[in-house]
Amino acid sequence: MKTRLVFLGPPGAGKGTQALIMAGKFSFARIATGDILREAIANESELGLKAKEFMRSGLLVPDEVVNEILREKLSSTDNGFIIDGYPRTIEQADFLQKIASIEMVIYFDAPEELLVQRIVNRRVCPRCNAVYNSVENPPKVENRCDNDGTELVHRIDDVEDVTRERLKTFWQKTAPLVDYYFSRDLLAKISAGKQLEEVTAEIEIAIGAI
């Protein structure tokens, strides 16, 4: 079974949700650069202040900021990991090759309109980072996290115009990584437009867990 994984795909494809599910099932460390950056922003740390302006406008946070986070997090994983939201550029992928031996990259494939739909309807738990969707994956109690009852929030960048900008950035900068990993024989493509449980099962098959 493959245990050193990268989840690659456009925003809204369900990478974060699946990473939480898989991390819970197999005790993988989940390394989500987006969540780490958002926490830094909320705490107004030095890193957070740097990242803030880039994220608000739908742009990528500069490599030196994100690479440092990743190096630090990877040094403390020994039971396997899922990197979610990284790499986003070829340069970052080259950096990752140097600091970790990735066994498989799961590519979450989904049509653009579905992604926009999912993101604008997305609500997240500020405490545990669980992700909900008022249409496909609603919480059991309206606007409350299933795990801890915390009130869900609508992220400031989860609106349509910023979403379209993020998708544009994704197609330009990140989509070339599909070829990058395919040519290294590391890529497994899954259909991320399906139901939550079906997507989980596809990932489990891909990594050899079932």
Exactly one of 147, 172, 191, 195 binds Zn ion (CB under 5 A); that residue is 147
User: What is the smallest separation between the CB atom of 137 and Zn ion, expressed in angstroms?
Assistant: 14
Determine the Cα–Cα distance for residues 110 and 210; give it in Å rounded to an integer: 24
Please, are residues 143 and 130 in contact by the beta-carbon 8 Å criterion?
A: no
Tokens of 82: 């899922």
88 is catalytic: yes
Beta strands in 24-152 (DSSP E): 29-32, 81-84, 104-109, 122-124, 131-133
Catalytic residue from among 38, 118, 123, 166: 166
Tell me: does residue 79 bind Zn ion (CB under 5 A). no
The site that binds Zn ion (CB under 5 A) totals a number of residues, namely 8
Region near Zn ion per CB under 5 A, out of 36-44, 68-76, 120-128, 199-207: 120-128
Region near Zn ion per CB under 5 A, out of 56-64, 106-114, 116-124, 138-146: 138-146
Name beta bridge partners: 133. Answer: 122, 137
Beta-carbon count within 10 A of 128 CB: 12
118 is catalytic: no
The stretches of 8-155 forming alpha helices (DSSP H) are 15-26, 33-42, 46-56, 63-74, 90-99, 112-120
4 is catalytic: no
122 is catalytic: yes
Determine the Cα–Cα distance for residues 163 and 57; give it in Å rounded to an integer: 10
Catalytic residue from among 2, 50, 155, 173: 155
Residue 65 is classified by DSSP as: H
Exactly one of 94, 148, 151, 160 binds Zn ion (CB under 5 A); that residue is 148
Catalytic residue from among 30, 38, 73, 88: 88
Exactly one of 128, 135, 141, 159 binds Zn ion (CB under 5 A); that residue is 128
Binding site for Zn ion (CB under 5 A): 125, 127-128, 130, 145, 147-148, 150
| Catalytic positions, written as ranges | 15, 88, 122, 155, 166
